Amino acid sequence: MSDMPTTAIEHFMQRDFEAVSEKATAVEAAEQMAQKRIGCLVVQGEDLDSEHRPIVGLVSESDLVRKVMAVDSVDSSVSVGKLMGDVLHTISANRSMLDASHFMEKHGVRHLCVAEGEEIVGLISIRDLVRYFVYAESGPIRDLDDVYRPLSVLMQTAIEKIEEADTVHQAAQRMAAKKIGALLVMKDKVVSGILTERDLIQKTLSLDHNPVEVHVAQVMSQPLIDIDINRTVHDASDLMAEKWIRHLPVTENGVIVGILSVRDLIRMVAVRDRPRFLRQK
């Protein structure tokens, strides 16, 4: 593995990315995400001809959940141009993977457009960072191999829950208020599954179902996929990749004691490297 602070984004970025028109509806964007099994689309403007449409933003599953499904008056026909972030976050292809992790942490995003000069040439995602840092031969994540129960260091112990009988709209509002991407689902005081942003997008919005009329029990994921607190960071990463999920409940003696997200896997990287990053700014 190359020297971690200087490994360039261009070697790990995705050069092929999915695009959507800024005039597309939220439902159309959700359909595209569901079909491609992705969590983000590059948004193209309509100013020029179809072969030279500029990239004007990004729209993510979080945007659709928080700005469409969680609002009081749900309007699934709203255009993508109104949902994308106000700022297009970009990073140069020659910047390091560590810098990308800092930018994502700072702006609270899971994707960045990668630029070469004035041109957008790729996309770097939180999953790309995980694949790089978790399997690096050295660095903060590799250092955790010597730490007792490393998942306990990374996981979040504050667990948000929702009832099976609650509506998808209520779940989206809870996610938006807490700025989280998953809720544990309860029935009769027992955990019965998990509800994620991806569930909301793929099983409700992409089908143009009204989130006020759909109940959590209809779209939640089950059986629950969890991981024991004594497993390694690599085990957690492998399981997330294998099951194509971003959240893992962490158990101890069969009891859920925390929840681990894909972002948690590399948050320590940005924290450990922050002094170097600040010196370079």
pLDDT in tens, 12-21: 999 998 999 9
At residue 168, the pLDDT reads 98
Pair (11, 126) in one structural domain: yes
What's residue 135's pLDDT? Answer: 82
Same domain, yes or no: 93 and 111: yes
Q: How far apart (Å, rounded) are the C-alpha atoms in residues 52 and 241?
A: 34
Residues 110-153: pLDDT tens digits?
Answer: 999 999 988 999 999 999 999 888 887 766 677 777 778 889 98
Residue where one domain finishes, among candidates 92, 111, 134: 134
H/E element, 44 = strand 40-44
| CATH number of the domain where residue 176 is located | 3.10.580.10
Task: Report pLDDT for 1.
Answer: 40
Alpha-carbon 248 to chain mean position: 13
Query: Residue 118: what pLDDT?
Result: 85
Q: Please list, in sequence order, all residues whose beta carbon lies within 8 angstroms of the beta carbon of residue 190, skipping any fewer than 6 positions away.
A: none
State whether 130 and 56 are in the same domain: yes
Does residue 154 share a domain with residue 129?
no
Residues 92 and 204 in one domain: no
Which residue, of 86, 109, 134, is where some domain finishes?
Answer: 134
In a domain? residue 273: no
85, 177: one domain? no
The answer to the question of residue 239 being in a domain is yes
**Cα–Cα distance measured from residue 12 to residue 57, given in angstroms and rounded to the nearest whole number:** 21
Asked whether residue 281 is assigned to any structural domain, the reply reads no
Within a domain: 84: yes
Q: 164 and 89 in one domain?
A: no
Low-confidence ranges of the chain (pLDDT < 70): 1-6, 47-51, 138-140, 270-281
**Is residue 114 included in any domain, yes or no?**
yes
Does a structural domain hold residue 254? Answer: yes
Domain count, the chain: 2
pLDDT at res. 115: 94
Same domain, 223 and 165: yes
Is the whole model's pTM more than 0.85, yes or no?
yes
What's the sign of the alpha-carbon dihedral 229, 222, 241, 259?
negative
Give residue 211's Cα distance to chain centre.
Answer: 21
**Do both 34 and 78 map to the same domain?**
yes
Regarding whether 202 and 127 lie in a shared domain, the answer is: no
Domain holding 244, by residue range, is 144-266
